[in-house]
Structure 1
Amino acid sequence: MSLDKLKLSKPLVTAMTDAGYLTPKEIQAKTMSRILGGQDVIAVGPEGSGKTTTYVLGVLMRLKYTKDDAPKVLILVADQERAIAVIDQFVSLSKNRDLNIVGLYGTGGMEAEINELVLGIDIVVATPTRARAIYLKLGLNLSKLQTFIVDDAELIIKQGMQLPVCELARSAGKCQHLVFTEVIHEKLTKMTDQFMSFATTLEVEDFGDTQTETVEQLLYHVPNYKTKVNLLHNLLRDSEVFDKVVVFVNSRLTAQKLAKSLSTPHEMEVSMLRPLHFDEDGFDNFEDFKETPEARVLVVANEGAGSLDLSGIPFLIHFELPEEKETYLTRVIKNKEIPTEVVALTFATDMELLQVKKIEQSIGRKLELAELPEELVAEKTLRTKGLDKNRPVKEKTDEPVGGGAYHEKKESNSKNYNYGIGQKAKMTMKKKHG
C-alpha cells in the first residue's frame, strides 16, 4: 500500500518520503479516513506502530489556518520528554509551513508560557496538569479548539491524571476527540466516557514474524491487589497440584507481607527468600528451598533476586510483574536443555496490562487468558475522586457570607471585572508596544 492511499496532500507525502516513510503503517491505513472525516477515534496499538505519526498527519491535513489568538489543537502527553518528541515530529513533517506550536510541561514559570500563548498559537502540546493549571489561570483559551488529542493514554491514567484530562476535554466543548493508547481497559473507558459519546475503537497488533518458544503461560486479569491475594490463596489450596511454587513480587516488603498472609500451620511450607528478620521462615539460598521437601511455596522479591536456577520448579507465579520485561522473559523462555514441564501464571490488574502487552510483543503472541475460579471473591475497587457529570452544583447567592463585620464596598472601590492572566498579558503587551 502506498502513501497516496492515505489521501494526504502532496507536500505531506513529500515530507513523509523525505523522513523515510515509504508505506503507511496499519494503524494509519485503518484510522486516517475517519480522522480526516472528523470522527472521534480511540486507536489502540503497540509501541512503534505509528500512533504519533498518525495524528500528526491528521492534524496537519485538517488544521485550518486563521489569525485567532486561541489554539486549534490541544495534545495531552504524559511528560516533558514525550512533549518534545511530539513537537519534533510536527516540525519534521511540516516543513515550509507557518506553524506555531508550543509545549507546556511545567519546567519554568507560567507567565512566560502564557505570554507565548497570547501571541497566537496553532497547536499546544502539554501535560494534563500543566495545561489545566494554565487554563484555570485563564491563560489557555479552548474556545476555538478543533481537535483534542490524548496520546499515551495508558501512561496518563497510570500517573493518575484522568481528572485534568476530563476537565479540559469538557471545557473545550464540541470538537474532534482522538485517543491513542497501547492498551484499553476499564479505567481508560471510564475516562473517555466523560467526553466521547460515539467514538470508533480501532486496534492493531503487530507481533512480527518470529515467535519465541516459552513455557506454558496463563494470564489472570484481576481488578486489584486484594483480589490477587484471594486468587493466590484459591490456587494454592490445591497442594497436590501446586506442590512446588515460586511466587514473584516486586519488593521485599511485599514479599514479607504476602508470605505472612499465606502462612499455614505446617512449618516452612510457605517461606520467603532472604527474609527481612531472623525469626521469619525463609531461605538465604534458593537451592535450599529446592532441596527441602516440606517447603512448598517460596515468595521471591524481584529486587536484588539476581539470576535463579528455576529448573525443577513446575509452577512460577508472577504475582507482580517486574519493571524490566527482560527479567520476566529470562524465567519463561524455554530451556531446551532442561525438558521439564513448567507453567507460568501471571496476575495482572488494568495498570499492569501495558507490561503484559510489551511481553506479548517480545514473545510474538498473546498470553492465553485464564478464567477466574467461580468461587473467587473479587474485592471491590475503591472509587477515586473524579469528574461526575451528575454532581449537583451549589447555587451562588448574592447574600454576604460572614458575621456583623461585613460592610458593602463604596461604588468607587467595587470591582466588577475579573481579568484572567491571559487577558492581563495582552493588556501589558499593548502598554509596552502601543
Structure 2
Amino acid sequence: MSFSVFPLDPALLSALPPAVIEPSRIQQLAISPVLAGQDVLALAQTGSGKTYAYGLPILQRLGQLPSCHLSAVVIVPTRELAAQVLQNLVPLAQTLNLRLDLVCGGEAIELQVERLVQPVNMIIATPGRLLALAQQGIIQFENLQSLVLDEADRLLDMGFIADINALLAMMPSGQRLLFSATLPEPLTALAEQVLSASHVRIEANVTNSTVVDITQTLYHVNKGSKAKALIHLIALHQWPQVLVFVNAKDDADALCKKLIKTGINAAALHGDKEQALRSHTLAQFKSQQLTVLVATDVLARGIHIDALPVVINVDLPNQAAVYIHRIGRTARAGLSGVALSLIAHGELLSLEAIRQLTGQTLPLVELAGFAVTDKPISETSKRAPRDKQANRRTANKRSISDFAKRNPSRQS
C-alpha cells in the first residue's frame, strides 16, 4: 500500500523522512478514521509509527481551517517523548504553514508564556505544564478540535489521571484519540469515559504482545552478581550501543559508576537530572558518542533510537506492561533486536506477571560463569529477630553519627 491511497496533501507526504516509504500497519488502519474526524482507540506496538498515524491526518485537517487557532493538542507522558513528537511533526507542519509548540516541564514557564503570545495551531505537551498554563488562561481550548492522548497507558501509570480529567473538563467536545501499546483495565475505563460510543477501535497487533523480531533471553543470576554479569555481557558481545533499564534513580547512578570504572563509556538518565543534561545525554547516545545508557523508565515509552541493537533489564519492571515498552526500544521500524533480562529470585513473581500478560513462556537460563547460589525467598528465610535488632542498633549509630557531622556545634 502507498500513502497515495489517502487524500493527504502531497506537500505533507513530501516532508516524510526518506525511510518512510509506505504506511505501517497502524498508519494504514488509523489515517482514514482520523481524517474523517472519528474518535479512535488505537493499539499498536512501540516503534510502529503511531506519531504519523495521528499526525498526518490531524495536520491535514488543521491545514484546511480558515484561521489560526489552537485546534489540536497532543498529550504525552514525558518531556523526551514530547520533544520527539514535535521533531517528527514540525517538518510536516511547515509545508502547510502550521505552527507547533512544545509545552512541558524542564523549561522556564515564562519562556513558554512568551512564545504562546504568537498564534499556534497544535501544542504537544505533558499534562502538568499544560494544565498550569490553561488554569492561568495562557492556553485556551475554545477552538480545540482534536485531542490525542499518546502513550495513554503510560499517562495512567505515571499518575496523570487527575490532570487529564481536569484538562478534559476545560475542553469542548471534539475528536478524541487514544494511542497505546498496551490495554490495561484502567485504560479501558478511561476510553469509555473519553471516547464517543461510536469510536473506532484499531488493533494493529495482538493486544499486549511483544515485537516478533525481538530475541528475548532471560538469565537467572544472583542479585549481587547483576553488575558483574552486565559488564561481562557487554565485553563479550561488544555491542556498539546498549540501553540498560533499572527501577531506581540511585541504582542508575551507582551502576553507571561501576561501568565507567571498568572503562565502559556510560551515562545515567533519570528524572532527577536537569532537563538540559537529559537532552544532552540522550543526544549523545543517539549519535553513538555513548556506548551504554543506564536509564529508569523515563525512556521506556516512545523514544526512538535508530537501529538500537540491544536492551538489557538489570531490574524487571514493577508493572508487566512496562516490560513490553522497555524491550520495544529495540527492533523498531522493521529491524531486529535483542532483549536480555537479569533476574534474581526476588523477581520471579514479576516474571510470572510478564508471562501471563504476553502469553509467552520466557524460560529462565543460567549465564555461563554465573552460577545461581542465592536461596529462594520464603517465609522461613527471614532473618532472626536478634539479627534485626542488631541491624536497628547499627542504623541508629549511623544516624547519630550523621547528625553529629551535619551539626558540629552540637558536639560536646
Normalised-by-shorter TM-score class: 0.5 to 0.7
Say if 2:111 is the partner of 1:120. Answer: no
DSSP-derived class of the 2:4 partner: helix
2:146–2:176 Cα contact (<8 Å) kept: yes
2:70–2:144 Cα contact (<8 Å) kept: yes
Relative to 1, partners in 2 of residues 1:307 and 1:77: Cα closer, same or farther, differing over 3 Å? closer
1:72–1:146 Cα contact (<8 Å) kept: yes
Q: Give a deviation string over 1:194-221, Cα, whole Å, max 9, x none.
A: 3223232212239666574868x9xxxx
Letter in 1 for 2:106: T
1:6–1:29 Cα contact (<8 Å) kept: no
Relative to 1, partners in 2 of residues 1:146 and 1:302: Cα closer, same or farther, differing over 3 Å? farther
State the percentage of identical aligned residues.
Answer: 23
Counterpart pick for 1:352 among 320, 323, 326: 320
Q: Give a deviation string over 1:46-103, Cα, whole Å, max 9, x none.
A: 22100011111011111143435x4101111122222221111122223433211111
Q: Whose helix proportion is higher, 1 or 2?
A: 2
Relative to 1, partners in 2 of residues 1:62 and 1:367: Cα closer, same or farther, differing over 3 Å? same
DSSP-derived class of the 1:130 partner: helix
Corresponding position of 1:187: 186
Cα distance in 2 between the residues matched to 1:31 and 1:111: 37
Q: Give a deviation string over 1:5-29, Cα, whole Å, max 9, x none.
A: 233222223223x543211100010
2:93–2:100 Cα contact (<8 Å) kept: no
1:36–1:58 Cα contact (<8 Å) kept: yes
1:170–1:195 Cα contact (<8 Å) kept: no
Say if 2:201 is the partner of 1:201. Answer: yes
Shift of 1:168: 1.1
DSSP-derived class of the 1:94 partner: helix
Relative to 1, partners in 2 of residues 1:120 and 1:26: Cα closer, same or farther, differing over 3 Å? same
Relative to 1, partners in 2 of residues 1:164 and 1:60: Cα closer, same or farther, differing over 3 Å? same
Aligned length: 260
Shift of 1:44: 1.3
Letter in 2 for 1:137: Q
1:102–1:125 Cα contact (<8 Å) kept: yes
Shift of 1:189: 2.2
1:302–1:322 Cα contact (<8 Å) kept: no
Over aligned residue pairs, what C-alpha RMSD do you find? Answer: 3.6
Cα distance in 1 between the residues matched to 2:163 and 2:225: 34
Cα distance in 2 between the residues matched to 1:308 and 1:14: 44
Corresponding position of 2:79: 80
Corresponding position of 2:4: 4
Cα distance in 2 between the residues matched to 1:161 and 1:302: 36
Letter in 1 for 2:359: E
How is 1:166-315 mapped onto 2 (pairs within 5 angstroms)?
Answer: 166-198=165-197, 199-205=199-205, 212=215, 300=223, 304=227, 306=229
2:147–2:177 Cα contact (<8 Å) kept: yes
Q: Give a deviation string over 1:335-380, Cα, whole Å, max 9, x none.
A: xxxxxxxxxxx9x87x43131455587679984279xxxxxxxxxx
Letter in 1 for 2:136: K
DSSP-derived class of the 1:71 partner: coil
1:45–1:203 Cα contact (<8 Å) kept: yes
Relative to 1, partners in 2 of residues 1:183 and 1:141: Cα closer, same or farther, differing over 3 Å? same
Q: Could you list the runs of 5+ residues in structure 1 that have no partner in the other structure?
A: 218-245, 249-285, 287-299, 310-320, 332-345, 371-434
Corresponding position of 2:25: 26
1:148–1:176 Cα contact (<8 Å) kept: yes
Q: Give a deviation string over 1:237-269, Cα, whole Å, max 9, x none.
A: xxxxxxxxx7x8xxxxxxxxxxxxxxxxxxxxx
Corresponding position of 1:13: 13
Shift of 1:181: 1.2
Cα distance in 1 between the residues matched to 2:224 and 2:134: 43
Single out whichever of 133-142 and 84-93 deviates more from structure 2. 84-93
2:15–2:95 Cα contact (<8 Å) kept: no
Cα distance in 2 between the residues matched to 1:4 and 1:10: 8
Letter in 2 for 1:178: L
TM-score by structure 2 length? 0.54
TM-score by structure 1 length? 0.52
DSSP-derived class of the 1:86 partner: helix
1:67–1:120 Cα contact (<8 Å) kept: no
Corresponding position of 1:341: none
Q: Give a deviation string over 1:367-402, Cα, whole Å, max 9, x none.
A: 4279xxxxxxxxxxxxxxxxxxxxxxxxxxxxxxxx
Cα distance in 2 between the residues matched to 1:327 and 1:211: 12
Larger Rg: 1 or 2?
Answer: 1
Cα distance in 2 between the residues matched to 1:133 and 1:356: 32
Shift of 1:114: 2.6
Corresponding position of 1:375: none
DSSP-derived class of the 1:194 partner: helix
DSSP-derived class of the 1:118 partner: coil
DSSP-derived class of the 1:138 partner: coil
